[in-house]
A and B are shown apart, each in its own frame.
Chain A
């Protein structure tokens, strides 16, 4: 019996808690199934699957993060310093040191290329998916532009399973829920 077919939504990403561990084998990716989203967490030689059925998805929560800015600083400072050194060496009155300039250019490229791609991919974000019983982080959705593209693919499928909510409708329902919650008597622990 053949199982469900999946379409890739995102490439594999290192979850945020492992970002700085270079040897981490943890990877996460998101796949689109017939009636659900599949979150695949690969850790070395095992894969763990989490399914989010379209009829159960309550919300996507996207939060803009400062990861891009952090990486810009981490990569930008050495790249800038290298550039300054190159200019300094190029106009050095004692002579033109081609070897030193080559080495510094290599270091600048090592920092500069990731810096370029970091800015090319756009704003970083963290995305969560919420169902009635869980709120899960989707580590592979870490760039705002890509997250919106994925949401554009998912939205009609969820709307087919559940129906659609306009911003006004959603806001009024949330206000109702807030009022209902405020009207509840406070819980007193004895």
Chain B
């Protein structure tokens, strides 16, 4: 990507004058008020990708995946030796592609986790929304309890870690079940 930043409105590449100023300044073409804060990474030259070196000396450690290439680093996940081509530098640690993929799919590497399902919100919605049409709670209350129990230990959101929604959903579901039970008992006793 070019270090020249385009104006978000007219896409004109801004060449000077508008960057790292304390306040807003107009785009020279469209006049949109802009404030642009740039950092040294914008002007950093991208280092060329290092190619894997062949094994030169007999007995030298070689890459697990490319036996003819020289090993440069062990994988932080499985400990296999990796050449420069197989080395995936991630957040200061070195992984082989297989461990990186496994870390992502199994959620072992937290920083690769990019999506989560909020089962606690699902449980709470399942407990709350059917209250509007109360008859539905006969079905949804047990469903809510199932979701709460089944997903109690599942990973919650990255930024909100409390189980309060699960607790609320569970309490509501139990109350709904208790209400239905009391109703059925009352009907049963009235008929007998």
A residues sitting closer than 8 Å to B (CB atoms) are 1, 3-4, 6, 8, 29, 31, 35-36, 38, 40, 42, 45-51, 53, 55-64, 126, 128, 130-133, 144, 151, 155, 158-159, 162-167, 170-171, 173-175, 177-178, 181
**Cβ–Cβ contact B33 & A63, under 8 A:** yes
Measured between alpha carbons, how far is A133 from B2 in the docked complex, in Å? 11
List 10 A-B pairs, minimum CB-CB distance, nearest first: A64-B33, A58-B42, A178-B15, A167-B20, A62-B35, A177-B3, A3-B110, A60-B37, A59-B38, A170-B19
Interface check B117, CB cutoff 8 A: yes
Measured between alpha carbons, how far is A175 from B113 in the docked complex, in Å? 39
**Cβ–Cβ contact B2 & A177, under 8 A:** yes
Contacting residues, chain A, for B116 (C-beta < 8 A): 46-47, 49
Query: Assuming the A-B contacts A47-B116, A132-B46, are A151 and B37 also in contact, with contact meaning beta carbons closer than 8 angstroms in the complex?
Result: yes
Query: Assuming the A-B contacts A62-B34, A178-B13, are A48 and B3 also in contact, with contact meaning beta carbons closer than 8 angstroms in the complex?
Result: no
Interface residues of B in 107-121 (CB under 8 A from A): 110-111, 113-119, 121
Contacting residues, chain B, for A158 (C-beta < 8 A): 39
**Cβ–Cβ contact B158 & A58, under 8 A:** no
Interface centre among A40, A164, A177, by most chain B C-beta atoms within 10 angstroms, is A177
**Cβ–Cβ contact A50 & B15, under 8 A:** no
Interface check B159, CB cutoff 8 A: yes
**Cβ–Cβ contact B118 & A47, under 8 A:** yes
Interface check B76, CB cutoff 8 A: no
A-B contact pairs, 20 of them (CB 8 A): A35-B91, A38-B159, A46-B115, A46-B118, A48-B115, A58-B38, A59-B37, A59-B42, A62-B34, A62-B35, A64-B24, A132-B44, A166-B20, A170-B19, A171-B16, A171-B17, A171-B20, A174-B15, A177-B3, A181-B4
Main secondary structure of the interface of A (DSSP, over half): mixed
User: Min CB distance, A142 to chain B, in Å?
Assistant: 14
User: Min CB distance, A33 to chain B, in Å?
Assistant: 9
**Cβ–Cβ contact A40 & B40, under 8 A:** no
User: Min CB distance, A185 to chain B, in Å?
Assistant: 15
Nearest to B119 among chain A residues (CB) is A45
Nearest to A48 among chain B residues (CB) is B115
Interface residues of B in 40-61 (CB under 8 A from A): 40-44, 46
Contacting residues, chain A, for B177 (C-beta < 8 A): none
Contacting residues, chain B, for A163 (C-beta < 8 A): 40
User: Min CB distance, A163 to chain B, in Å?
Assistant: 5
Q: Other CB < 8 Å A-B pairs besides A59-B37, A162-B40, 16 of them?
A: A35-B91, A45-B122, A47-B115, A49-B115, A59-B36, A62-B35, A62-B36, A64-B24, A130-B5, A130-B42, A167-B21, A170-B38, A171-B19, A177-B2, A177-B4, A178-B16
